[in-house]
Homo-oligomer: A and B are copies of this chain.
Amino acid sequence: MIFENKDKIVFTGDSVTDAGRKRPVGEGLWEGLGTGYVRNVDSMLAMLYPEMMLHIANTGTGGAASCDMLARWQTDVMDLKPDWVFLMIGANDVWRQFDEPNLDNDRYMPERYRENLEAMVSQTIPTVKGMFLISPFYMESNDNDAMKKRMVEYASICREVAEKYGAKYIDVQGEFDKHLQYRYPAYISWDRVHPGWVGAMIVATKILKEIDAKPIY
Contact = CB atoms under 8 A, between A and B. Distances in A.
Contact of A51 (B27, B103, B182, B217): B182
Interface stretch (A82-90, A118-126, A144-152, A157-165): A144-152
Nearest to A146: B184
A64 to B, nearest CB: 16
A55 to B, nearest CB: 5
A198 interface: yes
A78 interface: no
A216 interface: yes
A144 B141 CA distance: 11
Given A44-B201, A50-B181, A103-B27, A147 B186 contact: yes
Contact of A47 (B53, B95, B202): B202
A30 to B, nearest CB: 8
A100 interface: yes
Contacts of A142: 142, 144-145
Nearest to A216: B216
Given A47-B202, A50-B181, A29 B216 contact: no
A196 interface: yes
Interface residues of A, number: 55
Number of copies: 8
A104 B80 CA distance: 12
Contacts of A28: 100, 103
Contact of A191 (B100, B186, B217): B186
B216 A182 contact: no
Interface string A51-80: 101111000000000000000000000000
Interface of A: 27-30, 35, 39-40, 42-44, 46-47, 50-51, 53-56, 95, 98-104, 142, 144-147, 179, 181-184, 186-188, 190-191, 196-198, 200-202, 205-206, 208-209, 213, 215-217
8 contacts: A27-B103, A30-B196, A47-B202, A50-B183, A54-B102, A100-B187, A147-B186, A205-B217
